[in-house]
Structure 1
Amino acid sequence: MVAVRRFWHVGINVTDMDATIEFYEKIGFEVIQDKELEDANLARAFMFEGASKLRFAHMRLPNGSADEALLDLIQWHDDRAKGRAEGDLIHPGLCRFSILTDDIQAEYVRLSDLGVEFLTEPQAVMDPDGVKGWKLLFARDPDGTLFHFVELIGVPATVG
């Protein structure tokens, strides 16, 4: 029997927690938890030599269930993150996370008006049947973490 229960969160290191929270609130996420933590065991647990202080925030979309995955934002105080995220869509490793929407064009307009900069306008990718597919819209958060919105075409906006 497999003991795995569910996908819990995506961890994102940030350089400015307040700016990152404000950004993801524009997207539609809500803060579930925002804490400072000081514990000498952080270095061992997170394999980060000398770490003992951090601030973390958990964020979740408001219409989701309590079992849905969270954004786990982490700002280290001992040795701050520097630069920008290096993720892209081609190289191995985490390349993006996705947010499902029912109306990608409306999100594009709403968030553009709030100052969110997108990498492209919404793009459609269709299955060979020409009926089902996806609309995709890519953006980066304040530290460069890549994510995208997805609108399912020809199927309900639930994945089951």
Structure 2
Amino acid sequence: MRKFWHVGINVTDMDRSIAFYERIGFKVLQDKVIEDANLARAFMVEGAGELRFAHMRLNDSPDEALLDIIEWRGVPAAGRASADLVHPGLCRFSILTDDIQAEYDRLSAEGVEFLHTPQTVMGPDGVHGWRLLFARDPDGTLFHFVELVGGAATVSRETPTER
């Protein structure tokens, strides 16, 4: 395996979604329309023959994963995303930040609607933890910002029996 490449997000309005993610800080790397009779079979989307996609990235680094925003043509997406934080399947994607309060203030002023204010969750040691801030994109896709608290607040490599 080479690397984690991208997360695909279906959208109902490509231009609205691009504008939203640009407000968050993503930049468009490519925005293309694909017409191919094999789309339906390759992506398992009945009736698909055309789509528009935009690859977006937060930082100018080829090592960083992309958002792959997809708007199906001829098979329009309907409704809203239904991800939640409990049931199996992709529940969110995460954006690491160094100052979650500044992001909350900046993006709230730009009209991004958050599900709550920044919240802090501490690990068992009471020193390391995370500040979290959840939002949904215009189609309801759930994501959150994370600020690490107490230095190296990433998940430990210890197994449960070593703790």
TM-score range, shorter chain: over 0.9
* Seq. identity, %: 75
Q: What does residue 139 of structure 2 align with?
A: 143
Distance 1:33 1:158 in 2: 32
Q: What code does the residue aligned with 2:38 have?
A: N
Asked if 1:94 corresponds to 2:90, the answer is: yes
- 1:39 pairs with one of 36, 41, 44: 36
Runs (5+) with no aligned partner, structure 2: 156-163
- Once the two structures are superposed, the pairs formed by residues 11-160 of structure 1 within 5 Å of their partners are 11-62=8-59, 64-155=60-151
Task: Answer yes or no: is the 8 Å Cα contact 2:130–2:153 preserved in 1.
Answer: no
Q: What code does the residue aligned with 1:117 have?
A: E
Distance 2:101 2:90 in 1: 26
SS at match of 2:61: coil
Spell out, residue by residue over 1:27-64, the C-alpha distance to the aligned partner (whole angstroms, 9 max, x if none): 000000000110101011101121111100000002x5
Distance 2:14 2:153 in 1: 31
SS at match of 1:79: coil
Alignment: residue pair count: 156
Off by >6 Å, runs of 4+ in structure 1 = none
Spell out, residue by residue over 1:47-86, the C-alpha distance to the aligned partner (whole angstroms, 9 max, x if none): 1121111100000002x52121100000001110001000
SS at match of 1:21: helix
Q: What code does the residue aligned with 1:52 have?
A: G
Query: What RMSD over aligned residues (CA atoms) do the two structures have, in Å?
Result: 1.6
